[in-house]
Amino acid sequence: MIGEALAGKRIAVTGATGFLGTALVERLLRSVPDCEVAVLVRPGRRATAARRLQREILRNDCFDRLRAELGDRFDAETSRRVQVIEGDVGQEGVGLDDDGAALLTGCDVVIHSAATVSFDAPLDTAVEVNMLGPSRLAEALGTTPSSPHLIAVSTAYVAGSRRGDAPEALLTDTPFATHADWRAEVAAARRARSDADADSRRPERLARFTRDARAELGAAGAPLLAERAERLRDEWVKERLVSLGRTRAQSLGWPDAYAYTKALGERALLENRGDLPLTIVRPSIIESALAEPRPGWIRGFRMAEPVIISYARGLLGQFPGVPEGVVDVIPVDLVVAAILAVAAEGPAEQPAVYQVASGTRQPLRYDNLVSLAESWFTEHPLYDSRGQPIVVPEWSFPGRGKVQRQLTRAGKGLQAAERLMGALPLRGRRAEVSSRLEERRQQAERALSYVELYGSYAETEARFQVDRLLSLWERLDDDDRQTFCFDPAVIDWAHYLHDVHLPSVVTQARVRTTPGGRTGPTRAERGRRAVLAPERHLAAFDLENTLIASNVVESYAWLATRRLSEGDRLRFTLRTLREVPGMLALDRRDRGDFLRAFYRHYDEAPAEQVRADAWEMFSALILAKSFPDGIRRVRDHRSRGHRTLLITGAIDLVVEPLRPLFDDIVCARLAERDGRILGELVDPPPTGEARAMVMAAYAEAEGLALEESVAYADSSSDLPMLEAVGHPVAVNPEAKLATIARKRGWHVENWTRAAGAPRHLLPFAPRLTRSDVS
């Protein structure tokens, strides 16, 4: 009896925060009486291993059944039976302290399920965890016959891209297995990280990262641009190592870096284990539970789920694969039961291999999988944003190369269109076109990544033998077969897909499954409710293109032409047009530099005359170009007791008439001397990161919390201001900010000028009459 054989034993589990590890811990606590469980958990940046145990393992819905069975005793029982060991198999010595080492070596069984399971992990990461992790753990356990029984979870796909039978045998005993020096592979992977990092720091690459950051964020300020450029550099290094891992794996006959590092990890473990009792368990593609702890339980998206959801949403109508080929899927609870049966069986004299796979015992053909998915989504369609059912496309089975070429062309075409739209001066709803193009491009790139990552698994022709697994099954009594079922023959694929797996996938994906219009408040209504909530502290507003459809150039043009003759106006227009290209380029590079340069136009202007004309301009230009909804929003905040702050690069003479609308105004100020304005700013203009610093200082002085505050702005140059608060609002966003707002889920407002307001081709002041002069 499995339960009795493991009762009272101490069983350690690595990888307990993952899909398989969580299921193992739950099943041990629920089905093996009085065993103790030790979990090896890597501490996070902000959470200890003990905190991660509570938050990421015991609070997972996998434990709902056990929690219901134990009721109020759940916390006490798990505290009594579960111990946490702080460690990391990706580090030398597994990162254990003396107490952790003693606890680990005192276990009877150690189930090693920790792994980097991503098929597109960077090569060096996969090598450190998958290739070296098992050997590090074996060394920590001690390589003697009295050491704990190590059950190493690998993958059936260590067989590589072979055809025909893949036996339950050690790779050293398997015909046609690829032989590679794992030590050389480790050294090469570590060197590749160093080489890629050095390459990323070459001057031409750093310049490119900076250009790409500026193209994405615009004039967001030096700190944000530097941060984004560094992130792009890190991503470039990662992508280089991901590509290298995939290429190296395929050159040796494995589909990806996961299978490659797992295979060489087995070889390294066999060399390094000494006399450590060892069993290797190789599951195929692990998917949602058939029955335990409940039908359909799954943790996160696995391999097939992104492809299934993309198909259901009408985004993916073809995928490479052999229609009559077998997709070897195994429910997670069958894998858990097999591992516990192996643990109860105990180690053999020599390392043994068990494969937990369905392909030879209960095969699921690829065309049958597609047919079952098509019929289920036809009967239970997803719905688009308008509440209309999405008709799933007719599935085809082209070659992998053809699909890759089609998706690559689509991605490049959408990227070109996206760049064109991003270069146009679009705002508000028009700018959303660029955002939608980016979303379509990302969908094409995502589909391409699915083909590159998973295409080989749909084309596999290996048949994973399970003779030893079935022999173990035959030795079980009826009670064990009922409680710890792992025979793949029990799977009814139509029932599993229609009644268990697909409903679970849809629930996990949080996609729309009901027809008709949405009920309840819209997203925009929820956003407005959130920003106007009584608990908000501060509302900070940008001015240009946020509250008014005007800018500092238009204000200057109005003031400068107020007292010019017709001929002087023409000369002013021509001179200004000549300056426009240079000014636009300077504004794109740095808003502060642009303002400093532009405000020199005010040099020697009579201060009192400009002040008087500014009040005239307020009614003639500013109010005429204002957004009534924006002005109303300022008043809404004030009526709710929120502090209101205007932060603008416009000069004080221009914004003075707006002062009664706000509690405070932070703006640019020009120096004056002897009644004349000097073309010099008294203080640096409040642009870029300076706005965030102003807001932080203001909030601290007034006792306000920025996380409970709101900021309104229109441009990516205002990113520091928007990121500084808990509730950013993009108003009439230009293309770059529209894209950022969509990605981050920010609230968006599209405010317009009042209907009937005068519209002039040039922002010139009306000419003065004699009565105006007198």
- Print the SS3 string covering 131-164: HCHHHHHHHHHCCCCCCCEEEEECCHHHHCCCEE
The whole-model pTM stands at: 0.79
Write out pLDDT tens, residues 435-457.
Answer: 666 666 666 666 666 666 666 67
Decide the pairing of beta strands 727-731 and 710-713.
parallel
Cβ atoms of 89 and 14 within 8 Å: the answer is yes
Q: Report the pLDDT value the prediction gives residue 578, as an integer from 0 to 100.
A: 80
Q: Report the pLDDT value the prediction gives residue 358, as an integer from 0 to 100.
A: 94
Q: Which of 13-17, 197-201, 414-418, 631-635 has the lowest mean pLDDT?
A: 414-418
Write out pLDDT tens, residues 207-236.
Answer: 999 999 988 887 777 888 899 999 999 999
Please state, in angstroms and rounded to a whole number, the distance separating the CA atoms of residues 655 and 621: 12
In this prediction, residues 646-675 reach a mean pLDDT of: 91
The two tokens of residue 34 are 């009085």
Quote the DSSP letter at residue 768. P
Write out pLDDT tens, residues 270-319.
Answer: 999 998 999 999 999 999 999 999 999 998 776 667 778 877 887 766 66
Q: Which of 76, 85, 1 is nearest to 49 (CA)?
A: 85
Q: How many CB atoms lie within 10 A of CB 46?
A: 6
Of residues 591 and 364, more confidently modeled: 364
Please state, in angstroms and rounded to a whole number, the distance separating the CA atoms of residues 374 and 595: 59
Q: Report the pLDDT value the prediction gives residue 501, as an integer from 0 to 100.
A: 93
DSSP strand E in 590-693: where?
605-606, 643-651, 664-668, 670-673, 676-681
> What confidence tier does 388 reach under pLDDT thresholds 50, 70, 90?
confident
Q: Report the pLDDT value the prediction gives residue 430, as an integer from 0 to 100.
A: 58
Residue located via tokens 């308008």: 386
Q: Which of 183-192, 272-281, 409-418 has the lowest mean pLDDT?
A: 409-418
DSSP string, 353-407: EEEE-STTTS--BHHHHHHHHHHHHHHS--B-TTSPBPPPPPPB---HHHHHHHH
Write out pLDDT tens, residues 500-547.
Answer: 999 998 888 878 888 866 666 778 889 999 999 999 999 999 999 999
Decide the pairing of beta strands 676-681 and 605-606.
antiparallel
Please state, in angstroms and rounded to a whole number, the distance separating the CA atoms of residues 21 and 53: 12
- Residue 243 exposure: Cα atoms within 13 Å on the Cβ side: 7
Mean pLDDT of the chain: 86
User: Which of 32-46, 515-529, 597-611, 634-648 reaches the highest mean pLDDT?
Assistant: 634-648
Q: Report the pLDDT value the prediction gives residue 521, as an integer from 0 to 100.
A: 77
Q: Report the pLDDT value the prediction gives residue 435, as an integer from 0 to 100.
A: 61
Write out pLDDT tens, residues 226-277.
Answer: 999 999 999 999 999 999 999 999 899 888 899 999 999 999 999 999 989 9
As a dihedral over the C-alpha atoms of residue 63, residue 67, residue 69, residue 74, rounded to 10 degrees, the angle is 120
Q: Report the pLDDT value the prediction gives residue 771, as an integer from 0 to 100.
A: 46
3-class DSSP state of 479 = helix
Q: Report the pLDDT value the prediction gives residue 355, as an integer from 0 to 100.
A: 97
Q: Report the pLDDT value the prediction gives residue 429, as an integer from 0 to 100.
A: 60
The helix (H) or strand (E) run that includes residue 63 is none
Please state, in angstroms and rounded to a whole number, the distance separating the CA atoms of residues 612 and 656: 11
| CATH class in words for 527-749 | alpha beta
Cβ atoms of 663 and 643 within 8 Å: the answer is yes
CB-count burial class (<10 Å; 0-12, 13-18, 19+) for 294: middle
User: What percent of the residues of the chain are helix, what percent strand, and what percent coil, each to the nearest 5?
Assistant: 55, 15, 30
Q: Which of 365-374, 517-526, 642-651, 713-722 has the lowest mean pLDDT?
A: 517-526
Q: Report the pLDDT value the prediction gives residue 177, as an integer from 0 to 100.
A: 62
Residue 687 backbone dihedrals phi, psi, to 5 degrees: -130, 160
Q: Report the pLDDT value the prediction gives residue 683, as an integer from 0 to 100.
A: 80
Assess whether the previous peptide bond of 733 is cis (omega < 30° from 0).
Answer: no
Residue 105 has pLDDT above 50, yes or no: yes
Of residues 766 and 749, more confidently modeled: 749
Q: Report the pLDDT value the prediction gives residue 773, as an integer from 0 to 100.
A: 45
Residue 563 has pLDDT above 90, yes or no: no
Q: Report the pLDDT value the prediction gives residue 233, as an integer from 0 to 100.
A: 96
3-class DSSP state of 54 = helix
Residue 74 has pLDDT above 90, yes or no: yes
Which amino acid makes up residue 129? V
Region class of 300: left (phi > 0), else alpha (psi between -120 and 50), else beta: left
Residue 770 has pLDDT above 60, yes or no: no
The helix (H) or strand (E) run that includes residue 88 is none
Q: Report the pLDDT value the prediction gives residue 132, as an integer from 0 to 100.
A: 95
Q: Report the pLDDT value the prediction gives residue 607, as an integer from 0 to 100.
A: 87
Q: Which residues contact 40 (CB under 8 A, 6 or more apart)?
A: 12, 13, 14, 15, 16, 85, 87, 89, 94, 104, 114
As a dihedral over the C-alpha atoms of residue 711, residue 716, residue 720, residue 725, rounded to 10 degrees, the angle is 30
CB-count burial class (<10 Å; 0-12, 13-18, 19+) for 501: buried
| 566-589 helix and 591-598 helix, angle to the nearest 10 degrees | 160
3-class DSSP state of 734 = strand
Q: Report the pLDDT value the prediction gives residue 774, as an integer from 0 to 100.
A: 44
Cβ atoms of 119 and 303 within 8 Å: the answer is yes
Bridge partner list, 287: 331
212-215: long-range contacts at Cβ-Cβ below 8 A with a sequence spacing of 24 or more? 215/422
